[in-house]
Structure 1
Amino acid sequence: MSKLPHYTPIASEAFNNFLDNRINLDELIERLRYIELQVQSDDEDEEAGKTVWFRFFEGDTLRTTISELEKELSDPTHPSYRILLYGIATGLEADELEVHYS
């Protein structure tokens, strides 16, 4: 179970609300963790170490996890802060956001 298209609308809404300053980082992470909990409860294999990760746009080679988002977006001076925000915005605008679990 890698790509989870049925969770993309929920993630997209959360990211859009974050970018539009309708929710803060803590609320974004809470919503994404909710998705992860749902996915884990649906996972019949229950292998340790699996996590939800995001591909923001076509050609995105990173596997950005919720923990990485939390770390990088909590500090505006983090080297990846602006790049990550740009990647999220670009992916949402192009409707290319993907939710994965592996």
Structure 2
Amino acid sequence: MRNYIFILLLLVNLSCSKVNPELIWYDPIVVSDLDKDSEQADIRVALGISAQVFYLSEKEKNFTQLLDGLTRSYREQKPVKIGIEKGTNQIKIVARTNKK
């Protein structure tokens, strides 16, 4: 009986989790550089050793929170989980991670 309850709870949990198919996830990743883009109103963000470049738009509604998370990762060299919008290279989500 416990096995059935466990399986039922597992199925409910998986069906309730929301995954955005429009995002590409980088987890864990450390920010290697932050730079103001002189041509656009964006912050240029380089991730990892290979320095893949993504952008953080100042027009984002939670811009200050996203920038704070990226800045903390850059200064402390701690990994974060970053969600990038497919096709635009825009950073949409920055979250702390416990992975190293």
With the length of structure 1 as denominator, give the TM-score of the two structures. Answer: 0.30
Higher relative contact order (CA 8 A, sep 6+): 1
Q: Which has the larger radius of gyration?
A: 2
With the length of structure 2 as denominator, give the TM-score of the two structures. Answer: 0.31
More strand per residue: 1 or 2? 2
More helix per residue: 1 or 2? 1
